[in-house]
Structure 1
Amino acid sequence: MNGLRNLLTDVPGIRVGNAHDERLASGVTVALFDRPAVASVFVAGGGPAGRDQECLEPDRAVERIDAVVLSGGSGLGLDAATGAQAWLRERGRGIPVASVRVPIVPSAVLFDLLNGGDKNWGRFPPYRELAYAACEAASEDFALGTQGGGYGATTVDLKGGVGSASATTPSGYTVGALACVNAIGSAVVAGGPHFWAAPFEQGREFGGLGLPARLPDGARRFRWKGQREPATTLCLVATDATLGKAEARRLAIMAQGGLAKALSLSHAPMDGDTVFAVSTLAKPAEGGPELLTELGATASDCLARAIARGVHAATALPFPSALPAWSDLFGAGGG
């Protein structure tokens, strides 16, 4: 990876923190920006849930954001953004409005309420405190797999989790991706070990197995979690190239292709697949539509790799009937 961490944080000015509760079997991932960043979002899933996403539309007044929160808990996890706002406000971050500051923290949530964890938390869900803890833990290095917002995540056949990847474009810009993989379909071909994202793998970042010489019988068989368990893959792509909100929106749209590259099914009526796109404004952007196309193509491949890495790095939850992890079935494999 040419000296990069192969993480979202290879984009300068971003730190990521994870926090989770093992008994709850859920958690929160927060991406913090050292300086307010330009952002937009594209939601392709039919059953999304999020907070403060409308302000990311190109024609809305808010110009910069302070963090993005990706949380478990379905709609009950929307409170996570409040914890990140509290952490940021204590540090003087946010849009100044007269004598107060309001941190801007868009968020999205995934459904992990049926994974075997104890969700009887009492009056208020714990996601606000988990998000605050994730902010406290944020750094340029962070763990993948069964962590943070991906702690309780699953796919149709394997444990899901947090994944990340990065790349450098031919023009010298950095692109990174982060995913909490709670997919409605599968990240692997016919139950594994091969990942659908194999054509985009760098080195052996998720096993180095490539694709099978031919698709095995049943590889095209339709499999999904079903309506009983809604599913969502939450994603964030970022670049150091200076973009406006409309360009960030287009970057998010292009990056959505990474879900189709990495998963057997995405953007379904009962999933909430969401991609945030962020520019940290670190480097002047020269190249117009050609550069944006280059960034989008790189982000799409990067996101596919991040999704595969999240599944590859996951460990199974310690509950009866919990789905196995990739490593349980196929060994540690790759790096």
Structure 2
Amino acid sequence: MKNNTLTQIDGVLVGHFTDSRRPTGCTVVLTPGGAVAGVDVRGAAPGTRETDLLSPSNWVQHVHGLVLSGGSAYGLDAAAGVMQWLEERGHGLAVGAVRVPIVPAAVVFDLLVDDFSQGGSRIRPDAQAGYQACVNASTAPVAQGNVGAGAGATVGKMNGPDCAMKGGVGSAALTVNGITVAALVVCNALGDVVDPLTGQLLAGARRAPDSRELLDIRTAQLSGHVMPHVPIASNTTIGVVATDAVLTKPQAQRLAQVAHDGLARSIRPVHTPLDGDTLFALGTGTSGQAADMMLLSTLAAEVTAMAVVQAVKAATELRLGPHWWPAMKP
């Protein structure tokens, strides 16, 4: 089977941990041999870890893993388990006799996706979840939909959380002139998801909790409709774009920046005051080819948009007590 997901990049492994107690989990992207990395945070409500060290002006050159997690700020604990897994195998930044794995992370808010019968928001990814995601990691095509950090992801919450639809994990890859660029996205957006190639509205805010009819947030806002129930801090799309080209840190940062164009093409509105949209970029250099930044920029935006679309296409509906989050797939 052809692999059109993030693990098409040589040197990259992906693993999910999906909690069986309520819809939440984490997704790890492992680069045990090290990868040049960058990041760009566009949303106004981010939850992140170790992003400052990715600045081109800072010393550390490589990361050994990335964590995308549910659980809001609590989910950042998953990175500790990833560090442990990497340390046990001798991966990390050599500091004398010690190796310190570099593992940045970003989170989405999914604490309210629950029936509140088993502990509700107290169930969230922790260090053990991060460790197990590493155990599950492989180079196989990435599982998509209601898995890992996308287990509790929802989209289209501007008409209230009860009118949202199911989001999830999506991934896509493209190869041009011998260079591959791929993306993995956890889509938990406040806005609607659209197909950028056709303009078709795929998933998002519904008109009523018991209806499948889509509201179309953009059209509603432009016509003066006021969204009275916008939930605070319940959103965010996070992800990773990676290439096998040889990158410098400034080039990795630029790749993370332009990848956000893919979010803007497929999510509306995006980068809102209530989203924490964050994208990482990785360069493994395994192709041995120097970066053609014009080509890489085009591909980064393209695969990011494709991954967003895949996230809602792969998602399946979720019912918890009286709550219902329909999906494109029933």
Which residue of 2 is the match for residue 120 of structure 1? 119
Change (3 A) 1:295 1:4: farther
SS of the residue corresponding to residue 241 of structure 1 reads coil
Which residue of 1 is the match for residue 149 of structure 2? 149
State the TM-score, normalized to the length of structure 2: 0.86
Residue 146 of structure 1 aligns to which amino acid in structure 2?
A: N
Q: How large is the Cα RMSD of the aligned pairs?
A: 2.5
SS of the residue corresponding to residue 60 of structure 1 reads coil
Which residue of 1 is the match for residue 318 of structure 2? 317
Alpha carbons 1:200, 1:305 under 8 Å: kept? no
Residue 22 of structure 1 aligns to which amino acid in structure 2?
A: S
SS of the residue corresponding to residue 145 of structure 1 reads coil
SS of the residue corresponding to residue 231 of structure 1 reads coil
- Structure 2 residue 278 is the aligned partner of structure 1 residue 274: yes
Which residue of 1 is the match for residue 69 of structure 2? 71
Alpha carbons 2:241, 2:300 under 8 Å: kept? yes
**Corresponding residue pairs, total:** 303
Alpha carbons 2:315, 2:328 under 8 Å: kept? yes
Question: How many Å separate the matches in 1 of 2:115 and 2:246?
Answer: 42
Matches within 5 A, 1:1-335: 4-116=2-114, 118=116, 120=119, 126-141=125-140, 142-156=142-156, 157-169=164-176, 171-187=177-193, 195-199=194-198, 220-222=219-221, 226-286=230-290, 291-319=292-320, 320-328=322-330
Alpha carbons 1:27, 1:127 under 8 Å: kept? no
Q: Structure 1 vs Structure 2: percent identity of aligned residues?
A: 41
Q: Which runs of 5 or more structure 2 residues have no equivalent in the other structure?
A: 157-163, 203-214
Question: How many Å separate the matches in 2 of 1:278 and 1:117?
Answer: 37
* TM-superposition CA deviations, 1:284-312 (whole Å, max 9, x none): 3346xxx1021011110101010110111
State the TM-score, normalized to the length of structure 1: 0.84
CA deviation after TM superposition for structure 1 residue 114, in Å: 0.8
Change (3 A) 1:239 1:116: same
Change (3 A) 1:100 1:307: same
Question: How many Å separate the matches in 1 of 2:51 and 2:242?
Answer: 16
Q: Which runs of 5 or more structure 1 residues have no equivalent in the other structure?
A: 188-194, 207-215, 329-335
Change (3 A) 1:240 1:218: closer
Change (3 A) 1:96 1:185: same
Residue 153 of structure 1 aligns to which amino acid in structure 2?
A: A
Alpha carbons 2:25, 2:69 under 8 Å: kept? yes
Alpha carbons 1:116, 1:322 under 8 Å: kept? no
CA deviation after TM superposition for structure 1 residue 125, in Å: 5.1
Question: How many Å separate the matches in 2 of 1:11 and 1:134?
Answer: 19
Alpha carbons 1:178, 1:235 under 8 Å: kept? yes
